[in-house]
Amino acid sequence: MPPATSAPVIRRTRDEAQSLSLRPAASSNARAVWREAFRAVRAETERRASPLSAEDQVIQSMPDASPTKWHRAHTTWFFEQFLLVPHLRGYRVFDARFAFLFNSYYVAAGPRHARPMRGNITRPDCAAIAAFRAHVDAAVERLLAEAADAELAEIVRVLEIGLHHEQQHQELLLTDILHAFAQNPIAPAYDAGWRAPAISSSSTSSDAFAPLPTGIHSVGFDGDGYCFDNEGPAHQIYLQPARIGRGLVTNGQWLEFMAEGGYAMPSLWLSDGWALREAEGLDAPGYWRRQDGARDGAWLTLTLAGLLPVDPDAPVTHVSYYEADAFARWAGKHLPTEAEWEVAARANLLDDAFGVVWQWTRSAYLPYPGYRAAEGALGEYNGKFMINQMVLRGSSHVTPAGHARASYRNFFHPPARWQFSGLRLVEYV
């Protein structure tokens, strides 16, 4: 059942995107601060799962999406596998069978259940997963309290990865349940109070495109605080003269693209995208449907609040890379590279860079110069996925607070459109 409270489940995070709230200052009581950060992240997962029934939490609506119950268990296994087993003396795993069920893709951590079969698992039930989470929570807190000072740095290093990992799954929990609800003819609402994220009014002003600073710039993470390994090494790039869209592309602009036959013009489409469009009959962004099924009915979209009219002023979302690329070609412009996006974000040229929708770039997800994945299972986190995927930048309105930053590299396969994925444009001078 939905929560009785009227407070929205989703809180917008755009203004918090540059801060990393998890890491304590060096002079503070690190053990207590990390314990509080751990509690806060773990509680946020449960808060996001709380509107969902046991039935909701089992479903897997496609191989790319995982059940809520699986997200809750997998993030817990991550702490058990990588933090407690190696570091907490005398720790007993909650259930020796769970490593097989809830290991996602870590080959070095042992055999695992097939990803597309996650929705077939009714047992362990939600109550067992809650007990698993409580067992691991108590053990992590014991580890933080009792670890020798000499061990604390390594423990915190892994704990911090685990917290950011769980935040990634908090976003996936919502995108995945939205995909599941979109398969349901009664169009359930996850959060009746949800509304499409508004965009900055300045995005429609006459200076809609801002000149990018040309020349050599540094991109990649080079600050204090946390980053994933794929955000480094920081390195230099060269920017051609260009102007970048301050604002996100809106549903209203997308409706123009559709009205001018954008989905029916093969000259706008990459070959793979056109093949997908034909195979799946794509004619609108993900989750859009015509009112009453009528061919000329108004467009509705399945949202976290259920079925709502498409708002022309809201940013377009749930578009694939192929669709974003076709739109850019139709508009006579381009998708930015990830370096262009990052330089522009650091120079404060972008409205709604964070906290609204992820933005496709035309950059393939590749290692930065000199990047090497770490040894061991955690080295599998990012590096082995650097093939056949495209980078998205920014963050969305369901990205947890404190998780985004200018150097953050999200990545998905080009056909993916169940994430909150939109776009902005660039033009060359």
Complex with Fe ion: residue 82 or 91, whichever CB lies closer: 82
In the bound complex, which residue of the shown chain has the CB atom lying closest to Fe ion? Answer: 104
Task: For residues 77 and 100, give the distance between their C-alpha atoms in angstroms, rounded to a whole number.
Answer: 10
β-pairing verdict for 235-239 and 242-245: unpaired
- Which H helix or E strand runs over 37? helix 30-49
Structure-token pair, residue 356: 């609204």
Beta strands in 340-409 (DSSP E): 358-364, 390-393
Complex with Fe ion: residue 103 or 317, whichever CB lies closer: 103
Binding mask 49-88 for Fe ion (x = CB under 5 A): ----------------------------------------
Complex with Fe ion: residue 239 or 378, whichever CB lies closer: 378
Binding mask 298-337 for Fe ion (x = CB under 5 A): ----------------------------------------
The stretch near Fe ion (CB under 5 A) out of 12-20, 104-112, 170-178, 274-282 is: 104-112
Q: Measured from the CB of residue 209, what is the shortest distance to Fe ion in angstroms?
A: 38
180: how many CB neighbours lie within 10 A of its CB?
23
Complex with Fe ion: residue 330 or 381, whichever CB lies closer: 381
Q: Measured from the CB of residue 78, what is the shortest distance to Fe ion in angstroms?
A: 6
Q: Measured from the CB of residue 105, what is the shortest distance to Fe ion in angstroms?
A: 8
Structure-token pair, residue 364: 């393939």
Q: What is the C-alpha radius of gyration for the chain, rounded to an integer number of angstroms? A: 22
The stretch near Fe ion (CB under 5 A) out of 28-36, 100-108, 185-193, 239-247 is: 100-108
238, 241, 247, 250 alpha-carbon torsion, rounded to 10°: -100
Complex with Fe ion: residue 284 or 416, whichever CB lies closer: 416
Strand-pair partners of 427? 243
The stretch near Fe ion (CB under 5 A) out of 6-14, 102-110, 112-120, 375-383 is: 102-110
Complex with Fe ion: residue 103 or 359, whichever CB lies closer: 103
Q: Measured from the CB of residue 161, what is the shortest distance to Fe ion in angstroms?
A: 11
Question: Each residue of 113-123: b (16+ CB within 10 Å) or e?
Answer: beeeebbebee
Task: For residues 303 and 418, give the distance between their C-alpha atoms in angstroms, rounded to a whole number.
Answer: 11
Task: For residues 20 and 347, give the distance between their C-alpha atoms in angstroms, rounded to a whole number.
Answer: 19
Placement of tokens 């751990």 in the chain:
38
Q: Measured from the CB of residue 74, what is the shortest distance to Fe ion in angstroms?
A: 6
Q: Is 39 helix (H, G, I), strand (E, B) or coil?
A: helix
The stretch near Fe ion (CB under 5 A) out of 99-107, 266-274, 290-298, 397-405 is: 99-107
CB 355 within 8 A of CB 13: yes
Complex with Fe ion: residue 70 or 263, whichever CB lies closer: 70
The stretch near Fe ion (CB under 5 A) out of 53-61, 63-71, 101-109, 390-398 is: 101-109
Task: For residues 181 and 173, give the distance between their C-alpha atoms in angstroms, rounded to a whole number.
Answer: 12
Q: Measured from the CB of residue 165, what is the shortest distance to Fe ion in angstroms?
A: 6
Q: Which residues bind Fe ion (CB under 5 A)?
A: 104
